[in-house]
Structure formats: structure tokens, C-alpha cells
Chain A
Amino acid sequence: DGDSETLRRAVGVAQHHDAVSGTAKQHVADDYSKRLAVGSAHCQVLVSNSLSKLSGSSVPRTYCEKLNISVCPLTESSHEFSVTVYNPLSRPVDWPVRLPVNGTHYTVTRPGGSLVDSEVVPVSQATKDIRRDGGYAANELVFQATAPPMGFSTYSVSLVQNRPPPAPPLPG
């Protein structure tokens, strides 16, 4: 069962001025982080349960927590997957989605089935340098998602056959 109470308590503990300003001893900072991570995991179950009911899909849902360093095992290894964008704001938002992938050409379709402009860009060297303990995506799939107010949109992503690598430059 998911719940938001665990995160509520963790955030409550983290209202202490040491947590807000980052002036705690290291082992206390580690404890704040652990509490927040456990609370977040409980919330993920809650969100999954809600989205499962609303979307009618009971396929297990993954949350990519290391997108900032282009790590997401599911999108890196899947040829076909779907992305749900939940918008907590009370107005529609456009949001650039960046997903780590290893293919070079994908089709992205929005809920109605129409194609979305997307492109694949290489993962920067700086990112590769800092993710030494996991993640092997060479590229990122980028597209602009739109989500309704306090609602969600689901985009479908499929790998199109990888394009051949570019021909080497001709001498001279």
C-alpha cells in the first residue's frame, strides 16, 4: 500500500533549521536523506495506484530518479515503452521530456495517436563522467510533452530501426 503520511512526516522532520540550511552533521544529513527517500518511495506507490485506476493500465510503473544524470534502466534497455506525465499545476504545462536511450531513432506518439516532434541527442561527456556506477545510455530522446491541469498525458515511444552510423569524412 502506498501512502503520503511517511513523506509528510519526513518533510516535517526536515523543517528543522539544520535540514533547511544544510548545517547538520553529516550523519544527520544522511538520516534526513534516508527519511525523505523512504517517504518518496511510499508516495510513488500511491501515485502508481492512482494512475493505474485512472488509466486502466496495471503494467508496473517505474520512476526514473536519476534523469538528471541520464540514467533510467527501463528506457535505456526497452525498444517500446510509454511515458506518463502527471502535472500537479492547475494550468496546462508544456514540459521538455529527456529520456536516456541507446537507440538513435524513435517515434513518439501522443495520446490521440498523432506523432510528436522528437529527436535524439548524445549524452554529454560530463554526464558520462559522473555516472560511473550505473547507466550506459549513449543518447537522450527529447520531446515536448503537454499535460492538462492536475492531470496526465501518456506518450508512447517506439524504437525505429537504428540509423546506420554516419559515413566517415572523405580525406581532403
Chain B
Amino acid sequence: APPVLENQYLRVTFDPDTGLLSSLTNLETKQTVQLKQNFYWYNASVGNRESIQPSGAYIFRPNSSTPVPVSLTAKTQALKNSVVQEVYQQFGPWVSQVVRLYEHSQELELEWTVGPVPVRDGFGKEVITRLDTNINSSGLFYTDSNGREVLERRRDFRPTWVLKQTEPIAGNYYPINSRIYIKDQEQQLTVVTDRSQGGSSIQDGSLEIMLHRRLLVDDFRGVGEALSEPGEYGEGLVVRGRLLLALTPPSTAAETHRRLAESLVLQPLLSVQSGPLR
């Protein structure tokens, strides 16, 4: 049977054929969104006829608007207990994820692990995760500025000048400091991040977040190095992080995502002492 995660607040289903997330339901408000999530990589530009500018530490410039899926399917394993329910997803040798739902949690946790990014094929890679929903977001999405003001972002648009969009992907990427969301009249999907990242909504109903980059050429902006930290084993870094997903009506979303972001940024500090408690 396809895995289903469920507690008193949320219900999460997976596509039995692909192993990918397929829907998210808020059981309190009785809202359901179709939700497909997968991992992709943009092929980093090394320069083309329009511009010699390659993608690099300063510059995000994919050479195509279509990202390459890491895998179309994920191998899954489910673990259901009372305190936590988890589905492990393996998308290939260098991308995996744990979808996690705690007993009294009102948000869904996605713990992603990406790397070491393979580059022997000669392609620099900019790895993203994309969440595709049926939310009618009308070209709008929202990202926060240092956790203070959430700003409306409109695709292919700048509020203070007439934009001639020459980079359909990079030109629509914005910084995320703690949260990004899309919404329509009925529902809002908010993603709270555990670190500053880049993100966008390239299609209506879609959210994407940059997770990891490994590039092979310098971008001529002064750093003088390709963005390819080899790590301790010389094969590239492995990065692990968490995204928290909340599905709410727009009217109550702010309360939810403010609480979530606070608890991630100022999360409890754990310390351990050996022996019995005195």
C-alpha cells in the first residue's frame, strides 16, 4: 500500500508509482492540495552567444530554463510509530530525503540530503527542490527580508522599472531568509527554511528552492575560484537541511509561519550530561 502519514492535524500521501509526495491535507481546516515534490538540477551556464557570463559564486545563470530531474521516482521506506512517522526517499546515490510527521505537529518536515554533487560529466549543477501544487498563485509569490517584512514578488516584474527579462530563471530568483509562500483565495502553502536560500515560483502553483551548487568555472567577479569545495574526501560536500511545510488558509497563515520560523531560528539548545540526574 502507498505510505500515508497522518496525525490529528495533517495527512500526507505519496504516489504509489513514483514514491513522490502527492498530497497534503490540513485535517483541521479540511483543505487539501495536490503536492508533487521532486529534486532537480539546473545545468550551470559557462557562457553563451548572448553573454560570456558563466554561473559562479556571485552569479546564478542556468543554461536552460528546464531543470533536469535527479530521478523521476524515489525508492521509499515507511516507518510508522506513535511519536514520529517517517518516509525515507532515495532519489539516487546523491539525493535523499526523510519526510517526517511528529505526533502533535501541525507542520510537515522534509529533511533533505544532497551531495556529493557529481561533476564528472563536465556539468556544473545547481540543485533545487520543487513543490508543484494546484494553488492558483497568479504569478505571485512571497519571500521574507531578514524575517521582518515579507515582500510580494511578481514573476517577470519589478515594481520600480519596466523589466526586460533576459534570464527567465535567475531573473526570478529571490533571497529567502526564513520563509517563502504561495497562496490563492482559499489556501496558502508556506515553506519555512532552516537557513538562507534562494527561491522562486517559475510556474503558477510551483515553489522552488535552491539547495546546493557545485560549479566548474569561475564567474569573473573577483573570487577567482570555481564554486566547488572538495570537502574532506575530495569529492564535494554533502549538505543536509530541513524544510517545514504548512498548509493553512491565508488569513491564519502568518501566525503559523511566524511561530515556525522563530522556533527554527531560535531553536532550543540541547546539552547532555552523563549519569543519573541529580
Contact = CB atoms under 8 A, between A and B. Distances in A.
A83 B263 CA distance: 19
At the interface, is chain A mostly helix, strand, loop or mixed?
Answer: mixed
A7 interface: no
Contacts of A51: 271
B51 interface: no
Contacts of B225: 25-26
A60 B105 CA distance: 33
B229 A47 contact: no
A69 to B, nearest CB: 7
Contacts of B274: 59-60, 62, 74, 78, 80-81
Interface residues of A, number: 61
A22 to B, nearest CB: 7
Given A64-B270, A81-B274, A121-B79, A25 B224 contact: yes
A86 B268 contact: yes
Contacts, number: 134
B277 A64 contact: no
Interface in A120-168: 121-122, 124-127, 130, 132-133, 142-145, 147, 154, 156, 158
A121 B84 contact: yes
B271 A126 contact: no
A89 B105 CA distance: 18
Interface stretch (B14-22, B95-103, B127-135): B95-103
A59 B273 contact: yes
A61 B269 CA distance: 12
B271 A63 contact: yes
Interface of A: 20-26, 29, 47-48, 51, 57, 59-64, 67-69, 72, 74-75, 78, 80-89, 93-97, 99, 117-119, 121-122, 124-127, 130, 132-133, 142-145, 147, 154, 156, 158
